Chain A
Amino acid sequence: AQSVTQLDSQVPVFEEAPVELRCNYSSSVSVYLFWYVQYPNQGLQLLLKYLSGSTLVKGINGFEAEFNKSQTSFHLRKPSVHISDTAEYFCAVSDLRDDKIIFGKGTRLHILP
């Protein structure tokens, strides 16, 4: 079965500084990888996804992620964060066998003024 690990439960970062949120996955088969964002009192919204092809994926709101098969990682990055990026970020994995999409425990991005 597939699984996903987000090592950092929360990440504080100053406004306009760069940020990286880490995600590692485990699966015996090829996977699809996603990053979702959840703002307070809302459902989840897709930031970006990796299915195949270029390992650098660009998403909405200036976020990007790089798929690294050898390190089984899919870290999320943004070169300059804003107060509005304060939210919970979830990495998720899905394989080709069924419709199951499994979420990591989430990382709370806390923007410092």
Chain B
Amino acid sequence: DTEVTQTPKHLVMGMTNKKSLKCEQHMGHRAMYWYKQKAKKPPELMFVYSYEKLSINESVPSRFSPECPNSSLLNLHLHALQPEDSALYLCASSQANQEKLFFGSGTQLSVL
């Protein structure tokens, strides 16, 4: 299994809602990532987990809250988002920083 699975594929939420994005990989990778990608822009790194511990937080607003329950799962909890947070949220995993990132297909998020 060389896939990274993200759910849901699409999400529409209001600014007062609480929702979660989920990511799963069964490749035994030790690092998992959240990226945010606006239309026609490159992916921007948000968070990195290494061995289930948060190793990088790129000064992301607290309305985004990551969680890594175990080595295969990565969540991104969303609360009180703004319309400008609408974007494609990509999850990725890798075995090490010199190895390639395996990307999921992303969750297309719309905040109304």
Which of A's residues lie within 8 Å of B, judged by CB?
32, 34, 36, 41-46, 49, 51, 90, 94, 96, 98-106
Contact = CB atoms under 8 A, between A and B. Distances in A.
A82 B20 CA distance: 39
Contacts of B4: 43
A44 B90 contact: yes
Contacts, number: 60
Given A32-B97, A101-B101, 9 more contacts: A32-B98, A43-B4, A43-B105, A94-B98, A96-B98, A98-B55, A98-B97, A99-B56, A105-B41
Contacts of B94: 99
B48 to A, nearest CB: 5
Given A44-B90, A45-B103, A106-B42, A99 B98 contact: no
- Which one of B43, B44, B55 has the greatest number of beta carbons of chain A within 10 Å? B43
A34 B94 CA distance: 14
A102 B98 contact: no
A41 to B, nearest CB: 8
